[in-house]
Amino acid sequence: MIESDMINKSMKIRAVLADDHAMVRAGIRQFVEKTDEVQVIYEASNGQEVIDYLSTCNSKVDVAILDIKMPEMNGIETTKFIRHTYPNIRVLILSAYDDDPYISAVLSTGADGYMLKSATPIELISAIKSIHGGRSALSPAIAQKLIGQLAQETKNPLTDREVEMLQMLKNGKTNKQIGVEKGISSRTVQSHLANIYRKLDVSNRTEALSKATNMGVIKI
C-alpha cells in the first residue's frame, strides 16, 4: 500500500508491516521509527499484499511485522510462506491474542518472535532488534504461558507402580516376567501398560520408554 523513502536504508533495519487496521499500523510505525534503528519501508492491510510486495520489490527486507487476524491472507499463512520462500527475512508476530491455540499456531510456523500489542515502544524495538540479530523475542505473558505448558508436559503423570513397570521393561523384562515378579497375570500387566500409553499419549512400549526417559521418569 505505502512505500516510503529509502534514505539511509543501509543503516537501518528494514521492516514491512501488515495489519488490517490503518490506525494500528500508524501507531506501530510511530513506535518503531522513534529511533534511527528501524524503518518501515512498506505497509500492508493483509498478508497477500506483503507477499506481492516481496515478489516485486528491489529493496532488501530484514523483518516482517505481522498481525495474526487479517483478511485474504492471515499472519499464520503469511509467516509460513515467508519462512519457505524468503528464509532470510525474520518474522515478528504482533497480536492482541495470547490464547494457547494462537501461541501454538504461531510457533509451529517458525516465527522468530511473538509480541503482544500491549508491548511498550522500548519492548517492541528490542524485539525487532533481537530477531534481526538471530535471536527470538517473546512478550513476558507469552513466555510465561510457554513455561507453564512445558512444566505440564514434563510433569510425571504415572503412579509409582507404573514407573516400576516401565523400568522393568527398560531392563528387558517381558510382560510374562513382569507378571511373575509382581504376582499378577500377563493380562493385568497389559492393562497397566495400556494405562501408561494413555497417560503418556503414546501408542506402544518403544514410544513410552523413549518419552519416559526424556521426562526423567525412568533411569537410562
**Could you read off the pLDDT of 55-74 as tens digits, one per residue?**
998 789 999 999 999 999 99
Contacts for 28-36: CB closer than 8 Å, 24+ residues apart: 28/65, 28/94, 28/124, 31/121, 31/124, 31/125, 32/65, 32/121, 32/124, 32/125, 32/128, 34/121, 34/125, 35/125, 36/8, 36/11, 36/12
Residues with pLDDT less than 70, the chain: 1-10, 147-155, 220
> Going by CATH, does the domain composed of 2-151 fall within 3.40.50.2300?
yes
The domain defined by 156-214 folds into Arc Repressor Mutant, subunit A (1.10.10)
| pTM score of the predicted model | 0.65
CB atoms within 10 A of CB 56: 7
User: Where exactly are the structural domains of the chain?
Assistant: 2-151, 156-214
Same fold, 2-151 and 156-214: no
Per-residue pLDDT of 156-193, as tens digits, reads 788 888 889 999 988 989 999 999 999 999 899 999 99
User: Which residues, 6 or more positions from 215, have their beta carbon under 8 angstroms from its beta carbon?
Assistant: 154, 156
